[in-house]
């Protein structure tokens, strides 16, 4: 076997590999012999078909299979000998040669770049620190009280903050559309839960009235068939209701599951919940920050194939249903920069994992499953899914190792701490 490696643009390499045609003869003979022992052809006993008949019918098939196997074997040998790290499977093309006893093929590949971790200690990161003030706790209790408010029917015109019970039916150009009507529908005026113009149009109405609203669905409405469409709603008002916010007293606190009914105990429980949620929020923020700063600090060329794959993933994330049609060229313009950053950061994190020889402990896995389980259901079911589903298990292990690499960067970078309220932390997402 003879080989040559040629550097092309970027991280592309061209491998030219030649080997003697006689290399594959034993493989062809082996395949034909094996086939002859199981072959069942009309006119012959099973396994007793003469070799000349077997060759006449199956030589080309066995030759092509053998050639493919030897191409793969020789390609792998060159890759290992040259210590190459291909991104993906090679593009193989056979070459014409003057020597009939020689097969020559070219393998076009793109390789993972050599990465040298440097200047990690010069990376500057901001770490948010949750600062819980008494007024934050009071505000949280007020929000809870708002959620528990009680409604009662009133005989007056509606205003912002009221709730209206109504039947409605909508048409576009006189035609009905899917889910265009409802009965006994509750609409809180000012909640901004419905399309713009709907809630505002119900200010100043009384029970027994009928009102027509002429409004337009937003451009970004989730149902693309309705987006930007003008719609007429006929609304029959059945009730106007006003709310009464619960008084924050011992009775109310006990209703929330606090046995001693003390507001201080409720505050402690709320603060505890904030701290748990803050851990996830801070980890998420730090991860984004690390990926961005790590990518900026380490400059090297990234594989084009990996960037293209990441561009497709990003488009899928932002356009899961394929509703927005976009050309490949525009997609690259839109996502290329961020996709390159993601790929670079991913390669760097993988290098950190390999260099630092991170391994997973049972504690790492248990902690991750605990975090995932929080608010998502039965822990045992989630644990069973991730530990007994091979693909899910691989994904879990990959994420945990990546998180360990993130923590390593944080521990080696320059970290400045900054106080945040819980609401400000939520805004960082």
Report all structural domains of the chain as residue ranges with CATH numbers, in order of start.
2-110 (3.30.70.1050), 150-244 (3.10.50.40), 260-427 (1.10.3120.10)
Q: With cut-offs at 50, 70 and 90, classify the pLDDT of residue 40.
A: confident
pLDDT per position as a tens digit, 390-418: 999 999 999 999 999 999 999 999 999 99
Closest CA to 128 of 26, 280, 261, 2: 280
Confidence band (pLDDT; 50, 70, 90) for 42? confident
| Model confidence at 167: pLDDT above 80 | yes
Q: How many CA atoms lie within 13 A of 149 on its CB side?
A: 15
Q: 177 or 97, which is more confident?
A: 177
Instruction: Please tell me the predicted confidence (pLDDT) of residue 172.
Output: 94
Asked if the model's pLDDT at residue 377 lies above 80, the reply is: no
**pLDDT tens column, 81-125:** 999 999 999 999 999 888 888 999 999 999 999 888 888 999 999
For residue 342, which phi and psi values (nearest 5 degrees)?
A: -60, -45
Total count of residues recorded for the chain: 429
Are 93 and 55 contacting, i.e. CB atoms less than 8 angstroms apart? no
Structure confidence at residue 24 as a pLDDT band (50, 70, 90):
very high
Lowest mean pLDDT segment, chosen from 10-14, 50-54, 173-177, 182-186: 50-54
Q: What does the alpha-carbon distance between residue 215 and residue 200 come to, in Å, rounded to a whole number?
A: 11
Q: Is the pLDDT of residue 375 over 80?
A: no
47: alpha, beta or left? (left if phi > 0; alpha if psi -120 to 50): left
- 71 and 92 Cβ atoms separated by less than 8 Å: yes
- 32 sits in the region (left: phi over 0; alpha: psi -120 to 50; else beta) called alpha
CB 221 within 8 A of CB 212: no
Q: For residue range 293-344, what is the model confidence (pLDDT) as tens digits?
A: 988 888 889 999 999 999 999 988 887 776 677 888 888 889 999 899 889 9
């Amino acid at each position: 076997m003879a080989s040559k490696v040629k550097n092309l643009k970027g991280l592309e390499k061209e491998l030219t590999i030649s080997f003697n045609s006689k290399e594959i003869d034993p493989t062809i003979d082996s395949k034909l012999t094996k086939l002859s022992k199981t072959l069942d052809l009309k006119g012959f006993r099973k396994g007793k078909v003469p070799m000349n008949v077997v060759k006449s019918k199956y030589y080309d098939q066995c030759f092509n299979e053998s050639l493919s196997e030897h191409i793969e074997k020789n390609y792998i040998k060159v890759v290992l000998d040259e210590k190459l790290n291909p991104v993906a499977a090679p593009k193989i093309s056979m070459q014409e040669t003057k020597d009939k006893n020689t097969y020559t093929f070219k393998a076009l590949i793109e390789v993972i770049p050599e990465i040298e971790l440097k200047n990690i200690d010069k990376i500057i990161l901001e770490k948010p620190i949750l600062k819980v003030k008494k007024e934050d706790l009071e505000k949280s209790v007020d929000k809870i009280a708002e959620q528990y408010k009680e409604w009662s029917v009133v005989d007056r015109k509606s205003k912002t903050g009221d709730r209206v019970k109504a039947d409605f039916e909508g048409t576009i150009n006189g035609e009905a559309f899917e889910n265009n009507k409802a009965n006994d529908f509750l609409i809180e005026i000012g909640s901004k839960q419905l399309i713009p113009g709907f809630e505002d149009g119900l200010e100043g109405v009384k029970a027994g009235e009928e009102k027509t609203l002429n409004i337009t669905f937003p451009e970004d409405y989730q149902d693309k068939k309705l987006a930007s469409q003008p719609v007429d709603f006929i609304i029959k008002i059945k009730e106007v209701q006003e709310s009464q916010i619960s008084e924050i007293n011992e009775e109310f606190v006990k209703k929330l599951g606090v046995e001693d009914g003390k507001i201080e105990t409720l505050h402690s429980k709320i603060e505890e919940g904030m701290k748990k949620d803050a851990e996830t929020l801070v980890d998420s923020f730090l991860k984004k920050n690390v990926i961005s700063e790590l990518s900026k600090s380490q400059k090297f060329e990234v594989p084009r194939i990996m960037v293209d794959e990441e561009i497709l993933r990003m488009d899928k994330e932002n356009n899961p249903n394929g509703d927005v049609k976009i050309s490949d060229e525009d997609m690259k313009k839109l996502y290329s920069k961020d996709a390159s950053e993601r790929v670079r950061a991913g390669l760097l994190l993988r290098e950190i994992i390999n260099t630092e020889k991170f391994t997973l402990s049972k504690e790492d896995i248990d902690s991750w499953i605990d975090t995932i389980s929080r608010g998502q259901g039965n822990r045992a079911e989630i644990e069973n899914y991730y530990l007994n589903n091979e693909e899910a298990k691989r994904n879990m292990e990959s994420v945990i190792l990546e998180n360990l690499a993130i923590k390593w960067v944080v521990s080696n970078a320059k970290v400045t701490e900054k106080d945040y309220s819980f609401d400000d932390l939520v805004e960082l997402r």
